[in-house]
Structure 1
């Protein structure tokens, strides 16, 4: 292939990528913008419910503090909206775990539980540096629990990407079917609120002293040109 053909091919790929990004943005509708947290909604034709995504930017001086927070299951009710307990019941490795959440929904709605697989992916390229936790629905991974209605569908993602310096962009996305009897309009209100309150609380809690100065060797959050690992917990 001659140099001119290579140039045209590169130009085509760049234009196509920008068009794909534009289409992705057009799929999402901004429904809330407050306290530097944007909440977007996307309608899914195959579901009676909508997908909601929250995005915020903030300073995260110690990125391992976020890992420490995610490892602190008793703290989840303090920042993860509507969750009143979280536990790990299986671990393939530190980046692939199985979790059970219980939710405390407002009366007269019955409480729910979610059984999920949490898979962590780290991307370190010239174009992007990010860590994302994908939440994958696994409702049959545990026996039924008569005290809770199990979510028949729940998927989501939580993670960050670097923006430069100590700034990060944090994203929380959630889609679920609560099961049982909940009118779709009520469920969608709950879904809309979850990204906002989760990100608002997470930003505050992750800066607490107990989550600073930890190190986890299964994630390389320093990389070339980053500060050396701090002395602290190694897990």
Structure 2
């Protein structure tokens, strides 16, 4: 790849991540089963951003395929009740997800725009951006008002992939603090644990 094309690819990924919520001073909240979860405060928000990382012993192409199967991904996304692809256009996809919540919390749903970019070294970045008004609200659900984050899949060898999952969410409505605090640790940990198990199956 020529230097100009390589620079274009690098700039493309940088621009992709430019809108992701600015989080600093990450503090490790859980380090177990080869998965590390760190949390960070976000200015102006009472909800922490979370970042989970792990090494999956599977080729990047396999991990990416599991990610891009919108309906199938509900099997490994934490507390996912239902997910479907709304639209796919070039590098962009729009998905709708319904989530299970504790009995005292109204179920949530979200609409995301997912933008995929591939860098010169083969790293795949999937930017996640909430688009809550893309479709009308569903009765019985509170629409998540804001989602910013990304998935990053980095090839480490022919059969191993480093996966980073970082998100900040404004869940909308009223959520007890203990529920929010538990979710920001459980969501990345359980999601990566399930994805890892599925991807590493022979």
CA RMSD of superposed structures (Å): 1.9
- For residues 117-165 of structure 1, give each alpha carbon's deviation from its aligned partner in whole angstroms, at most 9, with x where no partner exists: 000111114xxx4101111010111112222110011222122112245
Distance (whole Å) between structure 1 residues aligned to residue 194 and residue 103 of structure 2: 23
Name the CA distance, whole Å, in 2 between partners of 1:51 and 1:131: 21
Structure showing greater radius of gyration is 1
Residue 63 of structure 1, CA deviation:
2.4
Deviation at 1:167, TM superposition (A): 2.6
1:83 aligned residue: 80
Q: Paired residues, what number? A: 181
The higher relative CO (CA closer than 8 Å, separation ≥ 6) is in: 2
1:189 aligned onto 2:165: no
Taking the aligned partners of 1:26 and 1:51, their CA distance within structure 2 comes to 10
Contact 1:29 1:40 in 2 (8 A): yes
**Is 1:38–1:56's contact at 8 Å kept on the other side of the alignment?**
yes
1:1-235 to 2 correspondences below 5 Å: 27-60=25-58, 62-93=59-90, 95-125=91-121, 129-208=122-201
5+ residue gaps, structure 2: 1-21
Inter-CA distance 26–139: structure 2 relative to 1 (3 Å threshold)? closer
User: In structure 2, what is the Cα distance between the partners aligned to 1:197 and 1:57?
Assistant: 14
> Does the 8 Å contact 1:65/1:207 carry over to 2?
no
Q: Residues 176-195 of structure 1, C-alpha deviation per residue, up to 9 Å, x if partnerless? A: 11111112342121121100
TM-score of the aligned structures, taking structure 1 as reference length = 0.71
3-state SS of paired residue (2:161): strand
Q: Which moved more, 1:172-181 or 1:64-73?
A: 64-73
SS at match of 1:197: helix
